[in-house]
Amino acid sequence: MSRLARIRAEAAGAMRTFLRRRTAVFFTFFFPVVLIVIFAGLVRTQGGGGAGLFSEPTGYYLPAYLATVVLFTPLSRVGSEVARHREDNRFEKLSTTPLTRAEWLAAHALVNVALIVAASLLLVVALLLTGASFEFSPWLAFFVPVSSVLFCGVGAILGSLAEGQDGAIAASNGIALPLLFLSETFVQPALFPEWFRPLLDVSPLVYFSRGVRAATFPEAIEAAGSSGVVATNAAVTLGLAVVAFTVGAALIPWTE
């Protein structure tokens, strides 16, 4: 069996497992839409260019809504899956097969990318229904899947180091929640203390937010002055994805 065939077989099994879990399907596809209904449909944004929460036009927050699936889905799913495989000694069994740890992680990353791309399309449609205005950019086809791989790698790291499945889920949520609000998503940088703003660069999600916003929100593109801001954040995101995937695959306990 070739490497591609092994990855395809593992990915097919992972996809079937996901589809059997109705709760996972709901939170992956419909929970982010509920957020849009609440914040973009009911709360509404002001679009006045102020410094308060939700003071920007709805299109400004496209990276924030996409981040709910780009960040939470791979962290929780891959983290809990690695921890579950550890507890059930599945990695020991897999180590006796031709499948490698990198191939296993690649298969699960592919499944997550497919799910996140589908969920992102649903989010875009939901935002358009609220009257949001933003530009469709080909950069979305880069940032969404590459960032998904990035957080699949981080999820694998958490699942490999956490004490059990509950610990992996707790660690995923403990990391994802702060990142969601400290990565120039829902909260504008101007709302943070001046001394704290340089620390935003530590978040891997911030490069996704900056890149997507510069590529899709007209005012952000104007402020940037060129597409260089998009390309720079894309390069950083790609580099982080390679590092996270490599480290995550290396830490998977293939044998105990």
141: in domain = yes
What is the per-residue burial (b if ≥16 Cβ within 10 Å, else e) of 169-206?
bebbeebbeebbebbbbbbbeeeeeeeeeeebeebbbb
69: in domain = yes
Q: How far is CA 50 from CA 120, 187, 228, in A?
A: 28, 12, 26
Full residue range of the structural domain in which residue 97 is found: 3-251
Measure the CA–CA gap between 46 and 6, rounded to whole angstroms. Answer: 51
- pLDDT band at residue 225 using 50, 70 and 90 as cut-offs: very low
Measure the CA–CA gap between 29 and 69, rounded to whole angstroms. Answer: 8
92: in domain = yes
- Reply yes or no on whether the pLDDT at 224 is more than 70: no
- Reply yes or no on whether the pLDDT at 44 is more than 90: no
Stronger pLDDT, 171 or 45, i.e. the higher one: 171
CA angle 64, 82, 91 (to 5 degrees): 155
179: in domain = yes
Residue 122: per-residue pLDDT: 84
Torsion of CA 234, 235, 236, 239, to 10 degrees: 120
134: in domain = yes
Most confident of 5-14, 80-89, 112-121, 143-152: 143-152
Most confident of 10-19, 102-111, 167-176: 102-111
pLDDT single digits (tens) 51-107 = 556 667 778 888 988 998 899 888 888 988 898 888 888 888 888 889 899 999 999
Half-sphere exposure of 13 (CA within 13 A, CB side): 8
- pLDDT band at residue 227 using 50, 70 and 90 as cut-offs: very low
Stronger pLDDT, 199 or 240, i.e. the higher one: 240
- Reply yes or no on whether the pLDDT at 226 is more than 50: no
- Reply yes or no on whether the pLDDT at 20 is more than 80: no
Q: How many domains does the chain have?
A: 1
189: in domain = yes
256: in domain = no
59: in domain = yes
